[in-house]
Amino acid sequence: MALVTTVVLAWTAWLRFGGEAPIEPPTVGAAVPPLRLLDAATSQPIVLVGLRGRVVWITFWSSNAPAEFAQLDRVWGQLGSRRGFSMVAAAVDAHAAGRVRTLIGQAKSSLPVYLASPETCRTFGATAPNLPLHLLIDEDGHVGAIAHGAGSDTFSRLAEMAERWLDEREPLGKTRFAINRRREELEVF
């Protein structure tokens, strides 16, 4: 009986103090965990909600590589006006918020930029050798693509995929067809 009690106590202590399971980053097809970030301007914690029903591009990047931010800003300029599209740039440098703010100010970008806490970086697997990390989330809230790297081919492939998803969602939308006035004049007898 004493042996059973000792084993149960040891098991309970291990679960309480040392039994933390390793965190697995999201994989393609998996539901996206809550996106807990810090506001870049105030460093106040926020949780982004309401992203379901939208195509969302999340990028974890480092302020040590400003060229990555410039590429993100170009993609935002290309896709940002599309209805149903959101983009989140999460800087992994929460400890260097001033540097991130300076970079944002110099870029004069409208791209939504946040700071990723160390916990969020662990949850998404956004660690130093994996940066920048891009996740493309479908309208159902599942990871549709994961990419690493800052090459132009990475950005163009993800942008094409996002555009394809947006076109499937709303093929023509409220497109209006214009009549060619010159052609109309030529056809009148």
pLDDT tens-place string over residues 128-185? 777 889 999 999 989 999 999 888 899 999 999 999 999 888 765 555 444 444 444 4
Strand 113-116 relative to strand 45-48, pairing: unpaired
Nearest alpha-carbon partner for 91 in 137, 131, 57: 131
Domains of the chain: 48-170 (3.40.30.10)
Cα separation, 40 vs 91, whole angstroms:
9
Contact 26, 104 (CB under 8 A): no
Q: Is the pLDDT of residue 29 over 80?
A: yes
* 126 SS3 class: coil
Cα separation, 82 vs 42, whole angstroms:
28
Backbone angles phi, psi at 4, to 5 degrees: -65, -45
Nearest alpha-carbon partner for 58 in 100, 88, 28: 88
**pLDDT, mean over the chain:** 80
Which range is least confidently modeled, 7-11, 52-56, 65-69?
7-11
